[in-house]
């Protein structure tokens, strides 16, 4: 197939080797040369059909699913963005079934929706001998910290099941605006996704939304901000950000739900990212059932900002 040409409509049947994959990951691997923006467009528009119906990009394939892929244009010469090998991602844990990386802020977990590549594409580029690499869960692009990648489909299936049951402990550190007073508080507001007029994906509290549960622990507080640890019992999109903003404590540096005027001031003070870090994972190995507890300390930039907060408080109240 020549670049610049169009692939005719095609039909595929999901076999055992592809079952359990997200439809977007499946298409990215199957449709070499097709820009990711095209793949996500046919998913959003409903042009792609599974068993005759529309599916979202998060749909997980089942054995025997019938996929209809509409005509698609291949990338024009020079249009495709090469995936750089880049610096090796920090590996916190690895064996023959999975690996855990300490994702830096600003790097998406996968390409699509205007992003050329992410963690998973970079790992595949760096590890050309790996037969299987798939994300077990996701982190927002602006969030740093621990991210699990499966190296075997059997491990991925178990991890996904445990994620759905809330059997994988995930804890985050975040700095929020305001003085949080309670040692521990449960936030259970249901959440729903929606699109803004500009087509941006957002989330809001909605009594008819999906159940969501965050447990917030106070770590430290100052006059105008608080350091919190948030334990997730569910894994909804933007859950921590929306739950805390709804409670009146927006995350510092959050460009979507935060205090935008404050964020501008924070940039001048050295905080040029959202203060949210996935710092701890606690789970059973998907194949051996051995207990694994992993931690990733706060990035240097966030530690430096906390030190500045501490010094400012000492100057004001010393």
The catalytic residues are 140
Phi/psi region, residue 16 (left: phi>0; alpha: psi -120 to 50; beta: rest), is alpha
Q: How far apart are CA 58 and CA 78, in angstroms?
A: 29
Residue 221's region, left for phi above 0, alpha for psi from -120 to 50, else beta, is beta
In our burial notation (b when 16+ CB lie closer than 10 A, e otherwise), range 237-267 reads: bbbbbbbbbebebbbbbbebbbbeebbeebe
Residue 3: what are its φ and ψ, rounded to 5°? -65, 145
Distance CA 17, CA 317 (A): 62
Q: Between vectors from CA 297 to CA 173 and to CA 103, what angle results, nearest 5°? A: 85
Task: Give the separation between CA 313 and CA 159, rounded to whole angstroms.
Answer: 43
């Amino acid at each position: 197939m020549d670049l610049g040409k169009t692939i005719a409509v095609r039909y595929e049947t999901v076999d055992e080797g592809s079952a359990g994959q997200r439809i977007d990951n499946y298409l990215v691997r199957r449709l070499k040369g097709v820009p990711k923006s095209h793949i996500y467009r046919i998913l959003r528009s409903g042009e792609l059909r599974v068993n005759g119906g529309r599916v979202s990009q998060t749909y997980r394939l089942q054995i025997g699913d019938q996929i209809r892929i509409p005509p698609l244009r291949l990338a024009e010469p020079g249009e495709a963005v090469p995936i750089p090998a880049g610096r090796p991602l920090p590996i916190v844990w690895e064996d023959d079934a999975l690996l855990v990386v300490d994702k830096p802020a600003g790097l998406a977990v996968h390409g699509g929706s205007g992003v050329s590549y992410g963690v998973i594409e970079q790992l595949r580029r760096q590890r050309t001998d790996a037969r299987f690499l798939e994300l077990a869960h996701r982190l927002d692009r602006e969030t740093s910290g621990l991210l699990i990648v499966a190296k075997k489909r059997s491990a991925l299936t178990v991890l996904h099941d445990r994620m759905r049951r809330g059997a994988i402990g995930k804890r985050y550190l975040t700095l929020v605006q305001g003085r949080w007073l309670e040692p521990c508080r449960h936030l259970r507001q249901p959440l729903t996704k929606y699109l803004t007029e500009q087509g941006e994906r957002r989330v809001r509290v909605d009594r008819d939304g999906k159940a969501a549960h965050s447990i917030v622990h106070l770590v430290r507080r100052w006059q105008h901000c608080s350091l919190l640890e948030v334990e997730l019992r569910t894994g909804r999109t933007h859950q921590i950000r929306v739950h805390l903003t709804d409670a009146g404590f927006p995350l510092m540096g959050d460009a979507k739900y935060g205090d935008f005027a404050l964020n501008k001031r924070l940039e001048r003070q050295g905080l040029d990212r959202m203060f949210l870090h996935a710092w701890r994972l606690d789970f059973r190995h998907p194949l051996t059932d051995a207990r694994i507890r992993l931690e990733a300390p706060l990035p240097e930039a966030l530690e430096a900002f906390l030190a500045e907060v501490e010094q400012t408080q000492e100057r004001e109240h010393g």
